[in-house]
Structure formats: structure tokens, C-alpha cells
Structure 1
């Protein structure tokens, strides 16, 4: 008397690793990882900003202890830190501006490192991060204009902060536009996608604009050379 084997009988169950992975959830599909170039830029820019903020904080402590001290960043009457640190513009919110940098610059560094590790972040996170970047560039532009047009100085460590902040803001904003994290519609996506690759050139144009303003207002070349 023969026994019929049912289809599939005696076949070992499929291992978990062999099963087809479930499709990602809508939330996972909405998450974005920064491109490698952006992640590296966030790390480098954040480190530059953090170094500048740290050095400014150390110099401010030195000035508080010894008001007549000659700081290493005081190269000449034009290229100097002391005037900026002792001015009201050096403590816009009632404490040294560099403290803000010490608190904020670790954020892009951590985001860049996490991005290189493959971590994805939801679109609302990128939008919130861009709000912080908008504050950063607004504050930097305010300090640039105050330094050039009111104080008449070029603070070396301040310029290190500017150099690190400007490209981070440009690249982050264009990336968020291109991915729709900043909800500005198709036109916003198109503009972000078309300009993202031009971030180095746009950054260079901004740097040159600041340099031209400094030359026109302070006659940097004649003073330094």
C-alpha cells in the first residue's frame, strides 16, 4: 500500500535568511542619507568651525584674565582678534559668540560621521537641520558686515569659522532642495539638483565677494603688503 507524499511534505522550512525581505516602510523610504561628498564636507566644515570657536574662547579667557595681553592672532591693527572679542558684537546674546560655536559645530560633525556610516535621517530632520544652518549663515553674514563695516578688522579665527560655515550651508540647502526635504515643489527640486554640483564654485564666489568687500572697505592689500 503506497503512501502519497503531499507537495512540500518533508521539505525543511525556509530559513529566515532565505526569505524575501519585506519592502521598506513608507517612513524608511522617506529617510535620506547624505552623499559622501556632503558628509565629508559637514565633517571638515564642522571641525574648522569648532577649531575657530575653541581658539576664540581661549583667547577670550586670556583677555578676561589679562586685558593688556598680546594675543597670537593680533598680527597687526587690521588683522586682529582682540577688538572683535572686546566689542559688543563679540557677545551679541550677552555671552561670547564662540560659545554658540562650541555648542553647535559638533552637530554637523556627528551628522557627517553618521552619514558615512550609512545612517538615514527623515526629511523633517533635514528640514530642521537646515533651519539651524539658516541661522548659522545669517549670524555669520551679520558678523562679517560688522567686522568689515563697523569694527574695521579681520579676525583670523573668525574667518576660519566663516570658511567652514559657508560651504556647509550652501551644500546642505541645495541637497535638501534637490531631495524635497525643503518642500518647495518641483521647481525647488530642479534648482537644487542643477546647482548642487556647483557648490564649490558658488562657495568660491561667496569667498571672493567677501574678499572684494574687505579690499574696498579696508584696503587689505595695501595694509598687509
Structure 2
């Protein structure tokens, strides 16, 4: 091995470490935000269960109303309040980020498991967003905080796993990874923009009365 090869390998390791450190910070910050939102929502749900007349702090108007959402079957998808899922899952995200910041290196199976988790989380919030918009007809502000956190968490974990070959060698060397690397920020912004536009369109009859 030549000196140039050694230096190139060291540069690649440094780039990987920097990317993982940025991902780690994102996991910790996002996980904390998501955990707080899920925990507060769970507390509000307990208060509402104890007192049906209780008005949650996130019930702001007819559209932004946690109370209306909490009392639907969709709010307990697995037979218990959905916030319990967040209270259980976000600490794993936080712990992963903290371990990376401490210099931990995880095996491929761990990253594959994390990928499965964030993929299920994205599918869940997508389903809940659809239900909120087109079936329940109300939005839960704390739930939307979780949406905001889960989307980039899925996005950047997936990018990392594509780049490191966790999702297969073909995926790592294919055009999809290069496309996502080059258009990451615009695509992520586009996802948020679509969600905002859907919310505006679905409830425009109410929003227009506020203008």
C-alpha cells in the first residue's frame, strides 16, 4: 500500500466520522424533541381519560385540536395510546446518537434494525397524517411536531445506510444514492412543502376566515 492510498483511506475515514457525527447530533436533537412531544401528548391523553371535559393545551381551535384527535380509534392504533410508541422509540434514537458522539461503531445489523424502525415510523406518521386530514378532520399540534422530527430522521438514516452499503452494494453504488446526496436539502424541503400545501388545501375554508 502506498502512502497515497493510506492518506486516501484516512481521508475517507475522517469524512465518515464527520458525517456520522452530524447524523448523531441530528438524532439526539430530533429524538429529544420527539420524546418531549410524545410525553406531553401522553400526559394530555391521561388527563382527558380522567376527565372527559378536560381541554388539552394543544386544542387551539376547531382544526388544531388534540382533543378531537385523541378520542378517535386512530389515536390508539395498537390498542393503546399512540404516544406510548414515541415514548418507547425516541429514547432509542437518542441513545444511538449519544453513542455515536461517544465514538461507538455499530454493526450492520444494528443500522439495518434502525432503518426498519425509522421506515415503520415514517409509514405510521404518513398514515396518521392522512387520517387527520381526510378522515378525522382535525390536526394535533404535538403530533405534527413528531411528523417534523420523523421525516428528517428517516431521510438521513436512509442516506447514511445507502452510502455505507447497509441497504446493499447495488444501492450504495447506484444512481439513487448520488441523486439523494446531490438533492437532499431540496427534496426534504419539498416533502415539508407538500405537507403544508395539503393542510392549507384541506382546511382552506377555515383558514380563509382568519384572513
Q: Using the TM superposition, give the Cα deviation of residue 44 of structure 1 relative to its aligned residue in structure 2, in angstroms.
A: 1.4
Q: Which residue of 1 aligns with 2:22?
A: 37
Following the alignment from structure 2 to structure 1, what is the Cα–Cα distance between the partners of residues 86 and 52?
Answer: 23
Q: Which residue of 1 aligns with 2:208?
A: 222
TM-score by length of 2: 0.85
Q: Relative to total residues, which structure has the larger helix share, 1 or 2?
A: 2
Q: 1:110 pairs with 75, 95, 98, which one?
A: 95
Is the contact between residue 57 and residue 98 of structure 1 (CA under 8 Å) also seen in structure 2? yes
Does the residue aligned with 1:105 lie in a helix, a strand or coil? Answer: helix
Following the alignment from structure 1 to structure 2, what is the Cα–Cα distance between the partners of residues 163 and 117?
Answer: 26
Q: Using the TM superposition, give the Cα deviation of residue 45 of structure 1 relative to its aligned residue in structure 2, in angstroms.
A: 1.3
Q: Please list every run of at least 4 consecutive aligned residues from structure 1 whose deviation after the TM superposition is greater than 4 angstroms.
A: 186-190
Q: Which runs of 5+ in 1 are unaligned?
A: 1-28
Give the number of aligned pairs.
195
Q: Note the alpha carbon deviations across 1:63-108, whole angstroms, 9 max, x for none.
A: 0111111221111001110011110000011100000110001111
Q: Which residue of 1 aligns with 2:57?
A: 72
TM-score by length of 1: 0.80
Q: Using the TM superposition, give the Cα deviation of residue 37 of structure 1 relative to its aligned residue in structure 2, in angstroms.
A: 1.4
- Report matched runs for 1:96-107 at 5 Å: 96-107=81-92
Q: Using the TM superposition, give the Cα deviation of residue 224 of structure 1 relative to its aligned residue in structure 2, in angstroms.
A: 4.8
- Report matched runs for 1:125-140 at 5 Å: 125-140=110-125
Q: Using the TM superposition, give the Cα deviation of residue 167 of structure 1 relative to its aligned residue in structure 2, in angstroms.
A: 0.2
Following the alignment from structure 1 to structure 2, what is the Cα–Cα distance between the partners of residues 101 and 166?
Answer: 14
Following the alignment from structure 1 to structure 2, what is the Cα–Cα distance between the partners of residues 133 and 101?
Answer: 12
Q: Which moved more, 1:198-207 or 1:44-53?
A: 198-207
- Report matched runs for 1:5-44 at 5 Å: 35-44=20-29
Q: Which residue of 2 aligns with 1:148?
A: 133
Following the alignment from structure 1 to structure 2, what is the Cα–Cα distance between the partners of residues 37 and 224?
Answer: 40
Q: 1:176 pairs with 131, 151, 161, which one?
A: 161
Q: Which residue of 2 aligns with 1:167?
A: 152
Following the alignment from structure 1 to structure 2, what is the Cα–Cα distance between the partners of residues 135 and 94?
Answer: 17
